Chains A and B, each alone.
Chain A
Amino acid sequence: MQTKENTLVMVALFAALVAVLGLIPAIPMPWGVPITAQSLGVMLAGAVLGGRKGGLALVLFVFLVALGLPLLAGGRGGLGVFASPTVGFVLGFPVAAFVTGAVMSRSGMNPVLASGIASFIGGIVVLYVMGIAGFYLMTDKSLVASITIMATYIPGDVVKVVLTAIIVGALAKARPQSLLSRA
């Protein structure tokens, strides 16, 4: 039974989940750039909740960051985040979750493949487009060379796409009623 209360609670709890994943310590990777679990939360919110609810969960999350809660990975938060070069990534969270969810809901493939593709498009392509656009606006055209440093994060993000697919696949078996993106 999906009541209004259920929807509200799911949205709020996934926002909290994204925050908690940001607080789990980053793990160092062999290629040098550590990966954090936060954007895994973004992909999962979209893939599990679907576009609209997943997007709303991340809007709520970004909102609380703006209000001054240290919910971003590394304990960052506050209005300063929105004047930082990484603002595009933060504002990209809701869009990424929305796109992930929208792709997930519209694809008729099995949940593992669908969530993998959806989180790749939403959590990597869309998130990086927004992140780089934000970077471009906050710094200077001349700094575009610096964007190459972001490429070092992509292997970690691919790991997260795989994890999202595994988790959503397991969820589709264990608790299909909770996979709202496929309800």
Chain B
Amino acid sequence: MMLALTSDIKTPLHAIRPSIKLAAMSIAVGIVFALSSVPHLAIAVAITALIYLSMGLKFAREGLRMLRPLRSFLVLVLVIQTLIGDPMSGVIVCLRLSAAVAIANLVTLTTRLEAMIDLVMRLAAPLRFVGLSPRALALAMAMVLRFVPVFLSRANTMQDAFRARSIRRPTFYIVMPLIISVLEDADQIALALRARGGLDGGYEP
């Protein structure tokens, strides 16, 4: 299976039920968004950092890495806010978003994908009554996980085939062949699914 963002470092949080983690996370993020003073937000960031650190330095470093995409954005916000003469609101936004994203990531880092999928299936069960089948959802999720690596390796093969005959960068040139191959696969896979009972079989997630 493709790699989920779950951390390999075992922490006490791994043992907690995902539903509880999710609920606690929602409340915590809600609180962080309600705070609006720099000292309060600084405390929130400090508490979050302490939670990460209490799981060990390696885990905290992993958490920091997950925040990296946010970094350049926050720097930009600070610069622009300083330029327009309101640095304080820039600081508030930076603190708030760092804390909120870090808290949300904590759930992702400490919950296995299978446990998340189980939770989703239980939450999706009532959708049966509005005509959406959790079985179709489970099958679709499995297929995405299965076909991302398949298409990725095909995309790489196509890039190589392109490079072998051209000095240009292949990036967008492979999109068309990739789409065609996806469409061709789709017919075959739908048949393979039908060959084993399709959507009318007894499979339950």
Contact = CB atoms under 8 A, between A and B. Distances in A.
Question: Are A and B co-members of a single complex?
Answer: yes
A80 to B, nearest CB: 4
Contact of A20 (B66, B69, B102, B178): B178
Contacts of A6: 186-187, 190
B161 interface: no
Contacts of B151: 16-17, 20
B41 to A, nearest CB: 12
B183 to A, nearest CB: 4
Interface string B67-79: 1011001001100
B199 A8 contact: yes
A86 B72 CA distance: 13
Q: Is the interface of B mostly helix, strand, loop or mixed?
A: helix
Contact of B171 (A20, A27, A60, A77): A27
Contacts of B189: 9, 13
B175 A68 contact: no
Interface string B46-75: 000000000000000000001101100100
A64 interface: yes
A16 B148 contact: yes
B80 A145 contact: yes
B180 to A, nearest CB: 7
Interface residues of A, number: 61
B5 A78 contact: yes
A170 B176 contact: yes
Contacts of A40: 172, 175
Contacts of B102: 80
Contacts of A138: 97
B84 to A, nearest CB: 6
Interface stretch (A96-104, A111-119, A171-179): A171-179
A145 to B, nearest CB: 6
A78 B175 contact: no
B79 to A, nearest CB: 9
A19 interface: yes
Interface string A77-96: 11111111110000000000
B199 A78 contact: no
A149 interface: yes
Nearest to A168: B179
Contacts of A85: 73, 97
B67 to A, nearest CB: 8
Contact of A8 (B4, B139, B179): B139
A24 B4 contact: no
Interface of A: 3-6, 8-17, 19-21, 23-25, 27, 37, 40, 44, 48, 60-61, 63-64, 67-71, 74, 76-86, 138-140, 142-143, 145-146, 149, 163, 167, 170-171, 174-175, 178
9 contacts: A17-B182, A48-B179, A61-B144, A67-B113, A74-B69, A78-B5, A82-B104, A149-B76, A149-B80
